[in-house]
């Protein structure tokens, strides 16, 4: 670790104690090996880091939590680690939060939920709020309110010239439009954002776990059930074998289950009525669905928090007819022996209706997101599932892209062309190197 003039934070070069810890994120499959890491403590450090990198002929990459399987920074790149910039301030009257670049959703929830206000966070409180929002952000209130990127009021950004700018929806040019959904590691380093908050204090939520012999019935019933649930009902279906390790609830350990996750943001009695047809499909191995404070939203998916070498792949599906469900069951059901975790998230509702100013998010008509992950090594069976479901595929959602998956499928041709033109205009030298290629 070195203190360097111009930085309030620290600088780590290969061989320095702390270099390895600073370049590591949640997904160990992304192996950042930058020229050096800047542990930034504020927007001033970020601006200094960008200016210095450009002067040295180096590129710039950004690391917040490392949950995204992003492009790894190489020896020609300076990696800006934002994790020390984790401040969150809330104006409960204006229903807005200012969130710094390194804050995780759990930091935001801790600041907003005492006011009975919820952000449009995702399933894991450990994910970075800014990185998530720059990729669109599809959360558990999304069918009611839309993508997180639909509800950004302002971005504070350090550009490729090291300049700090503040951008709202009315800013000249297309940069704000582009940051909302296509901003990860592209166009600049976002140092903070202001986002809308929503008056949601409680959820009727949790998980319904069904044994392997009920998986087929549950998947078929789930697909039919999602056809006409109200927008306040967020849900997903996960098919996987739980590891046989301490920490996993006893009835699930080592067993293949269908896990239906529920997050209903209306009254608990209505939620109970809506969930009843799913409960009626088969006895549950475990049923944790009930009234809960919004602050506990992260317990619904209960995703692992330990770093893992995950190989992900995502596809947005336009529909999920019975033939698609049978394909899914054949390749990811209990008899398939698939090594990957498979998850279908229900989209639609407000995701499909542009909210607020237009932005770069595409494929809004998606009905489901199919996401798979395998660890620690890639496995071709995962690709085979996505290929088999191709007849129903629309493209991909940026936040659920895997390592090595280009952003090509995330944006329609017109949007991709507009983004490429903006890259040429705002970053003609290609300073921001950890962005996914558009083609």
Q: Which residues contact ligand FAD by CB under 6 A?
A: 25, 61-68, 70, 82, 101, 122-124, 127-128, 130-132, 134-139, 184-185, 189-190, 303, 399, 434
Considering the complex, state which of residue 124 and residue 226 has its C-beta at the smaller distance from ligand FAD.
124
Q: How far is the CB of 241 from ligand FAD (least distance, A)?
A: 18
Considering the complex, state which of residue 148 and residue 211 has its C-beta at the smaller distance from ligand FAD.
148
CB 294 within 8 A of CB 202: yes
CA 24 vs CA 27, 64, 129, 303: distances in Å: 8, 10, 18, 19
Q: How far is the CB of 76 from ligand FAD (least distance, A)?
A: 16
Considering the complex, state which of residue 30 and residue 211 has its C-beta at the smaller distance from ligand FAD.
30
Considering the complex, state which of residue 185 and residue 395 has its C-beta at the smaller distance from ligand FAD.
185
CB 386 within 8 A of CB 372: yes
| List of residues 6+ apart from 369 with CB closer than 8 A | 138, 314, 315, 316, 317, 343, 344, 345, 347, 397, 400
Q: What distance in Å separates the CA atoms of residue 149 and residue 157, rounded to the nearest whole number?
A: 15
Considering the complex, state which of residue 67 and residue 202 has its C-beta at the smaller distance from ligand FAD.
67
Q: How far is the CB of 164 from ligand FAD (least distance, A)?
A: 13
Residue sitting closest to ligand FAD (CB): 131
Polymer length of the chain: 439
With b for 16 or more beta-carbon neighbours within 10 A and e for fewer, the 130-141 pattern comes to bbbbbbbbbbbb
Q: How far is the CB of 22 from ligand FAD (least distance, A)?
A: 12
Torsion over CA: 248, 250, 256, 261 (sign):
negative
- Pairing mode of beta strands 368-374, 311-317: antiparallel
Stretch (H or E) spanning 415: helix 413-426
Q: How far is the CB of 131 from ligand FAD (least distance, A)?
A: 2
Q: How far is the CB of 134 from ligand FAD (least distance, A)?
A: 5
Which parts of 291-379 fold into alpha helices (H)?
Answer: 298-301, 322-332
Q: How far is the CB of 169 from ligand FAD (least distance, A)?
A: 18
Considering the complex, state which of residue 10 and residue 399 has its C-beta at the smaller distance from ligand FAD.
399
Q: What distance in Å separates the CA atoms of residue 29 and residue 431, rounded to the nearest whole number?
A: 23
Considering the complex, state which of residue 107 and residue 284 has its C-beta at the smaller distance from ligand FAD.
107
């Amino acid at each position: 670790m070195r203190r360097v003039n111009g930085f309030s934070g620290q600088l780590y070069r290969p061989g320095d104690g702390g270099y390895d810890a600073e370049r590591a994120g949640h997904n160990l499959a992304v192996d950042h090996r930058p020229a050096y890491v800047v542990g930034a403590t504020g927007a001033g450090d970020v601006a200094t880091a960008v200016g210095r990198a450009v002067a040295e002929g180096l590129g710039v990459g950004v690391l917040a939590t490392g949950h995204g399987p992003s492009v790894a920074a190489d020896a020609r790149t300076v990696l800006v680690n934002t994790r020390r910039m984790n401040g969150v301030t809330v104006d409960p009257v204006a229903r807005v939060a200012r969130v710094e670049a390194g804050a995780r959703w759990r930091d935001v929830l801790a600041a907003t939920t005492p006011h009975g206000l919820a952000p449009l966070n995702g399933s894991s409180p450990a994910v970075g709020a800014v990185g998530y929002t720059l990729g669109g952000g599809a959360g558990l209130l999304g069918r009611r309110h839309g993508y997180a990127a639909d509800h950004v009021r302002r971005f504070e950004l350090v550009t490729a010239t090291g300049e700090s700018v503040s951008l709202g929806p009315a800013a000249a040019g297309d940069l704000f439009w582009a940051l909302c959904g296509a901003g990860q590691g592209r166009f600049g380093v976002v140092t903070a954002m202001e986002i809308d908050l929503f008056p949601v204090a409680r959820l009727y939520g949790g998980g319904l776990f069904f044994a392997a012999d009920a998986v087929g019935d549950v998947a078929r019933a789930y697909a039919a059930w999602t056809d006409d649930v109200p927008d306040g009902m967020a849900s997903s279906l996960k098919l996987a074998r739980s590891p046989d390790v301490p920490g996993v609830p006893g009835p699930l350990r080592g067993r293949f289950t269908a896990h239906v996750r529920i997050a209903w943001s209306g009254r608990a009695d209505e939620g109970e009525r809506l969930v009843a047809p799913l409960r009626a499909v088969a006895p549950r191995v475990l049923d944790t669905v009930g009234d809960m404070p919004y602050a506990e939203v992260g317990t619904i998916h209960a995703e692992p928090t330990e770093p893992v070498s995950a190989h992900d792949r995502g596809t947005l599906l336009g529909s999920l007819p019975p033939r698609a469900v049978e394909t899914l069951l054949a390749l990811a059901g209990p008899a398939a022996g698939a090594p990957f975790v498979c998850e279908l998230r229900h989209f639609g509702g407000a995701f499909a209706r542009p909210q607020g100013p237009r932005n770069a998010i595409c494929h809004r008509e998606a009905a489901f997101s199919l996401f798979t992950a395998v660890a620690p090594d890639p496995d071709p069976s995962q690709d085979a599932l996505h290929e088999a479901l191709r007849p129903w595929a629309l493209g991909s959602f940026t936040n659920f892209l895997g390592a090595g998956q280009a952003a090509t499928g995330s944006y329609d041709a017109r949007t991709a062309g507009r983004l490429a033109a903006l890259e040429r205009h705002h970053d003609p030298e290609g300073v921001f190197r950890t962005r996914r290629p558009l083609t």
